[in-house]
Chain A
Amino acid sequence: MSISDHELDRRLESLPRSCQPPDAVWQRLQEVLPDRMQALPADQSGRTPSRLGTRRMALAAAVAGLALIGTLLLLPMRPLQDSALVAVPPQQTVREAAAPAVGLQRSCQTVEAATAENEAAMRALEAALKHEPGNQLLLEFLAEARLRQADLNSTATRLAARHNHDL
């Protein structure tokens, strides 16, 4: 016999919503907080010298991050290519009018591809950060990639809703 809804609500209500802030997390956070006031020159930043391999990996991840952000910035423009704002041959317009879900499906595929690219970039950035935890550029790219992931999830939801509506 299962417990009642009332009993479950009562027990859920009694669960604590706060606790002591973990000191260990703050200690780690302090070590990686960048200085908002001034950027130190590279030779005074306190970072330990990196090995060449580590630097190459960090540089590759940074380039991948830049390329990814550039690609993702173009993403919102892509659906325009499926709209009437772009000059398309009449035959193509008729085809798309006959199958309105095709453009939408293409947008969904684009978002899925962007999500996969974003996840791959996050993996590369995290791997690079393991070797060079203090690299501010990599941290910034990783933060942007994570925010972008949330945006992509929202976009996927909207597209799925439109897809369901059209069906």
Chain B
Amino acid sequence: MAQQPLEGSQAIAQAVALCRPQVVAAYPITPQTHIVENLAKLIADGKLACELVSVESEFSAASVVLGAAAAGSRAYTATSSQGLLLMTEVLFNIAGLRVPLVLTCANRTVGAPVSLGNDHQDSMAVRDAGWVQLYCADNQEAIDTTIHAFRIAERCELPVMVCVDGFTLTHTLEPLEVPAQQQVDNFVGPYAFARTLKPTDPITLGTVLSHEFYPEVRHAHHRALLDAQEEIVAADREWHALTGRSTGGLLSIEGPPDAQTAILTIGSILGTLADAQAEYRDQAPAKLIKLRAFRPFPVDALKQACEGLRELVVVERAVSLGSGGIIAAEVRAALSEMSSPPRVHSYAIGLGGRDVPMNAYPKLVAAAQSESPPRFAIFDLQPAKLPAEDR
């Protein structure tokens, strides 16, 4: 299949269009805007038959797609940052109703202070909303994951959030493969939601549930997310068979198999770190563990990936303020089940869009060897910029 140069947002829009959503609702926020603009153009040009609902807030965007999905239409929305947080209440609600939806989060930090810069503070903040969260390392993955997302959502009756780094991916032009319509049609299939609202079977969605059943409903939802791991892996496997491309399923590992140090990260800095891994192959040999599925959190796959490791550096792009690394905390908990787990080093990096240079890689590998690693640190912190009392 021929590659064509596409901006990330344009590519995502095309991938969405290939999945034939009938309703798209969105509210403009940087850096999500190009995705929706591109969809609007596809609709305007008659290339996509779809109702575009230009709502008055992200809160309504999420609500519109919820209503549309419940009424029997495949639906899609995209947002970023503050917009995602404005959706929060509805995100929980969508998931609790077990309504299949796909949302692209063009990741951006969350104010204050205001910044357009990319990090994962937004999507990490809604990690407990009950959604599947898949993170993309590059724009080809963004295309493929978007297509997977519809299939996973509809098969698992769970909403799926596809996290794509703002600017780094959304605004970057690169040669990409866009699958054929027929391929996508076969892969995704027509939209079918078992609890579609219709006068011929007038069910009630969104009931009041007492404590007599509340733990059970939470269990069922949790269980559904855990079970979604199989669907995520299966989608990737099947997609690989169709296109020859893999997005890595729950997670993937690159680098020397015998390395005892690994860097685990998520999102687009994987591109930088992968390049650096090649560059510093001899100087700082380490594995790269690319985490794609953060929800469900792939405990078993992770344990397997960490087998034989002595040092694991978790590099992430968000902070649980007052606690530390978010992914790292979960990784630590997961690996504690191992008989000889690696040491886990927790760093945040590139917050608010700060560039992550190639030379971060050897520094991270080196930090992994330190005698007493900090429980958590911002790796690229420049303390001199802080007033003395805040250092």
A binds B: no
Q: Which residues of A contact B (CB under 8 A)?
A: none
Q: Which residues of B contact A (CB under 8 A)?
A: none
